[in-house]
Structure 1
Amino acid sequence: MSTTNLPSLSENTFLRYFNFIALYFAQGVPEGMLLFGIPAWMAMNGKSAGEIASFAIACGLPWSFKFIVAPMMDRYTILSMGRKRPWVIFGQLGLMTSFILMSFIPDPLNNLNLLMLFGFIVSFFGAFQDVATDGMAVDIIPIEEQARANGFMWGSKIVGTSSSLALGSWLLNTYSFAISIAMLSILVGFIMLVPIFLKERPGEKTLPWTKGQASPENKKLQVTNWKTIFKSLFSVFSLKNSLLIAIIGFIVCGCQNYMDILLPLFTVKNLGWTDLAYSQVFATSSLIGGISGMLIGGILIDKFGKKRMLNTYLLVLITSTLLIAFLKNFWVNTLLINSYMFIYSLLMVFCNIGFFAICMECCWKKISASQFTLYMTISNIGRIAFAALISPIRTNFSWEISIISFSIFIFISWVLLQFLNINHQVKSIEHLEKKDIESQGMLVTLTQV
């Protein structure tokens, strides 16, 4: 079948889900190694908590720069190929290329600066693709599908992360760093075919040199000057609920990165696990969590509501983490630690699905990439900030306090969530949209006069 006969994303629900599942899986592949596999491998080979945290910070830093490129994506594009699809293709190409180049690092354990540099570059293109994909999702996915789509998207990313962690760690320990990274990069390359073949809206070009034209919907949404972008962004982000969403994201995502870095240190350095044993357990837990997110994450939100379910997930996460901290005498029991890692992975997947769905619903479509990315940028600044806490907390406090700290931070985010009013945020955005249309109408009238 030729690409011209395929329905566009705006026309077909199945293809929408398939497209975002594939793109989020692609994001998870390098993250599995950068955030989990390589840090555990470094811990197994005697690298300090500071060195591991430095690598984690280098990989997390580009995700905090996403807001620099997001307004550019809202302002510029090849509109005849879609508002965000050209940027998705470019980001996926850069992700594949940089990941391949990373495999050529000689003796990475003794070239940590070079390892951190390529970790930064791979993460940059991963973040770049993420911005474009999220912007496309806000533009294309109808509101009534957003919760379920986020379940598929985030679940797919976790499946990609856990699969690459399990496969990459096995290749890393059985063969070499080069083979491990090179094999995973091939998988990323295959996924690039998805955004090439699937167009956003009917009648658009597949590639710049093929036939097609910009859709009327995208012409209406496209912002043509910087002043409009930043003025609109300031207006929507001045809303109380926008600020609450940003702060909650900062804490929740920061806590997730904190625990993601703490777990391999805790299991490998304190409990004596091998990096491969940790990777296998965490990958299995993440895989189960990701599949559960895809199957029921969005359904639970549709049935019970975003805020109610996020409240529930956070409270269970707080309780289970406090429980594991106070059961120090039972830490030698592998089943206990495995069970906690499963609960943690499952709940973090569901938390992210709920939080992403809230962010998506609370975005103004005309600046979808910029607003959603600003939420994510602030969240990823939280990832860096909380990663930086690992070394001082571990230096000055016990493992119990290090684990309890996670629960304290999550509790703060739960308290803030009680003040969030999603319906009021949606109505406020509708009011801003109405004012914007009225101002444009007045401008056209004045121009005609």
Structure 2
Amino acid sequence: MSIGLLGFASGLPLALSGSALQAWFTTAGMSLRDIGWITLIGQAYVFKFLWAPLLDRLPLPFLGRRRGWILVMQLLCGAALISMSFYAPQGAASTLAFLGVLLAFASATQDIAYDAHRTDLLRPEERGWGTAFMQGGYRAAMLVSGALALILADHVGWAWVYRLMGALMLAAMVVTATSPEAPDEQPTRSFAEAVVQPFMDFFDRYGKLALGWLALMVLYKLCDAFALSLSTTFLLRVPQFTLTQLGAINKTFGLLAGLLGALAGGWVVTRMRLFPALLVLGVAQALVNLGYIWLVHSGPNLYALATVVGMENFFSGLGSTAFVVLVTALCNVRFSATQYALLSSLAAVGRVFLGPLAAWLVPQVGWSNFFAITALSALPGLLLVIGLRHAIHRAELARPH
């Protein structure tokens, strides 16, 4: 239960520094170029491995090695969200961007501690369902801070949306304080060990395959991130859905499909080997991107939106569960904060840095060709999955290091 609830707290800030903020800037009339640059606010998710060793080395003097950091970052996230509610893009875009960077930093640091906490707690036989519950909580939070936020913004304004989300983050501190701590946790002995040994351990264990694993982290979810980089702006400006329509469809079809996808992913990785799961679900994620071409020509057709959003959330949930199981299997529990942060940081590269590229590409090729290109961008990751199939099998069967 605590894994799912902490997953909710982990997922809540992401949309508020991403798609919800993109919607806020879009409805405020900001240019596509400005919106593309705003996507860079999330760079902390890419570089979080740089300060992850501190969390392995320095437990706070309360709530154990992981939960203390989680609680402090939840407090900082709540404060940043409430502060953002007092500004607007038209006159204070820079201030909002600064607070968004602070929010992303606190959220990314919370993710470091939570991912390590979950990695420490889950035994190999628990990874599938534990990851499914995490994905379910995470996706529920993203739909609350994304879908529900859009509906509320249409009725009460963005300021109250960010205040409400800030209050939810502060309430999550209760969950953190009452959650169990992983047993037998021992911090690393020195800063040198905390910074250097996690990376040395990873490269020592995987040798020549290490670079392949790192490349897979970047490439596997690339097509998903590319298509979604400007999806909110696309849906508001091309089919011209309203905020309420986007929120309602995401809240119903998106929430249901995402939760079903995450739970189905837990079932799949317990019944199917990890390699075929990653391959099949990776292909499905790419094909779903083509559904957005339908929306280019459909106008504000709610049936089309529900179909595309439902399929995207379902197959993304499936693929993410299998991917997170792989990332968890690759980590040494002694350095779980740093190693998980490194691998998940690489997975965030596409989500963070493709926004400006997408904003440049769309005027050159049009929205339909853009979504076709995003589907093709899955090919390098799928080929790498095939190339690493034997290594994936060995990682799947390995006991905790």
Give TM-score scaled by structure 1 length. 0.81
Structure-2 change in CA distance of 1:70 and 1:429 (3 Å): farther
Whether the 8 Å CA contact 1:293–1:349 is kept in 2: the answer is yes
Match of 2:379 in 1: 411
The Cα of 1:428 is off from its aligned counterpart by 8.5
Whether the 8 Å CA contact 1:328–1:400 is kept in 2: the answer is yes
Q: 1:34 aligns with which of 2, 17, 30?
A: 17
Match of 2:199 in 1: 233
Query: How does 1:374-389 map onto structure 2 within 5 Å?
Result: 374-389=342-357
> Is 1:129 equivalent to 2:110 in the alignment?
yes
Q: 1:48 aligns with which of 28, 31, 37?
A: 31
Instruction: State the distance in 1 between where 2:396 and 2:262 align.
Output: 26
Instruction: State the distance in 1 between where 2:367 and 2:343 align.
Output: 31
The Cα of 1:153 is off from its aligned counterpart by 0.5
> Is 1:192 equivalent to 2:188 in the alignment?
no
Match of 1:276 in 2: 244
Instruction: State the distance in 2 between where 1:311 and 1:72 align.
Output: 35
Query: SS at 1:389's partner residue?
Result: helix
Instruction: State the distance in 1 between where 2:330 and 2:111 align.
Output: 18
Whether the 8 Å CA contact 2:113–2:337 is kept in 1: the answer is yes
Letter in 1 for 2:85: S
> Please, what is the CA RMSD of the aligned residues?
2.4
> Is 1:115 equivalent to 2:96 in the alignment?
yes
Match of 1:218 in 2: 185
Structure-2 change in CA distance of 1:332 and 1:411 (3 Å): farther
Match of 2:79 in 1: 97
Instruction: State the distance in 2 between where 1:176 and 1:80 align.
Output: 38
Query: How does 1:254-403 map onto structure 2 within 5 Å?
Result: 254-322=222-290, 325=293, 330=298, 333-403=301-371
Instruction: State the distance in 1 between where 2:176 and 2:262 align.
Output: 21
Q: Relative to structure 2, which stretch is displaced further, 81-90 or 328-337?
A: 328-337
Match of 2:148 in 1: 167
Structure-2 change in CA distance of 1:147 and 1:109 (3 Å): farther
Instruction: State the distance in 2 between where 1:315 and 1:288 align.
Output: 22
Whether the 8 Å CA contact 1:64–1:380 is kept in 2: the answer is yes
Letter in 1 for 2:285: L
Match of 2:134 in 1: 153
The Cα of 1:338 is off from its aligned counterpart by 2.7
Give structure 1 stretches of 5+ with no counterpart.
1-17, 202-214, 434-449
The Cα of 1:80 is off from its aligned counterpart by 7.4
Instruction: State the distance in 2 between where 1:243 and 1:171 align.
Output: 44
Letter in 2 for 1:415: L
Whether the 8 Å CA contact 1:36–1:279 is kept in 2: the answer is no
The Cα of 1:327 is off from its aligned counterpart by 8.7
Match of 2:67 in 1: 85
Instruction: State the distance in 2 between where 1:124 and 1:32 align.
Output: 14
Match of 1:5 in 2: none
> Is 1:424 equivalent to 2:389 in the alignment?
no
Structure-2 change in CA distance of 1:185 and 1:101 (3 Å): same
Query: How does 1:58-73 map onto structure 2 within 5 Å?
Result: 58=41, 60-73=42-55
Cα deviations by residue, 1:297-336 (Å, 9 ceiling, x for unpaired): 2111111122222211111222343465389655665423
Whether the 8 Å CA contact 1:310–1:355 is kept in 2: the answer is yes
Instruction: State the distance in 1 between where 2:28 and 2:86 align.
Output: 20
Structure-2 change in CA distance of 1:429 and 1:367 (3 Å): farther
Could you tell me the percent identity over the aligned residues? 21
Q: 1:182 aligns with which of 163, 169, 178?
A: 163
Structure-2 change in CA distance of 1:424 and 1:147 (3 Å): same
Query: SS at 1:65's partner residue?
Result: helix
Q: Relative to structure 2, which stretch is displaced further, 235-244 or 264-273?
A: 235-244
Structure-2 change in CA distance of 1:389 and 1:182 (3 Å): same
Whether the 8 Å CA contact 1:285–1:346 is kept in 2: the answer is no
Instruction: State the distance in 1 between where 2:299 and 2:313 align.
Output: 18
Query: SS at 1:111's partner residue?
Result: helix
Give structure 2 stretches of 5+ with no counterpart.
none
Instruction: State the distance in 2 between where 1:424 and 1:73 align.
Output: 29
Instruction: State the distance in 2 between where 1:195 and 1:312 align.
Output: 36
Structure-2 change in CA distance of 1:67 and 1:142 (3 Å): same
Whether the 8 Å CA contact 1:99–1:185 is kept in 2: the answer is yes
Whether the 8 Å CA contact 2:258–2:310 is kept in 1: the answer is no
Instruction: State the distance in 2 between where 1:388 and 1:25 align.
Output: 28
The Cα of 1:395 is off from its aligned counterpart by 2.2
Whether the 8 Å CA contact 1:314–1:410 is kept in 2: the answer is yes
Query: SS at 2:130's partner residue?
Result: helix
Q: Relative to structure 2, which stretch is displaced further, 414-423 or 128-137?
A: 414-423
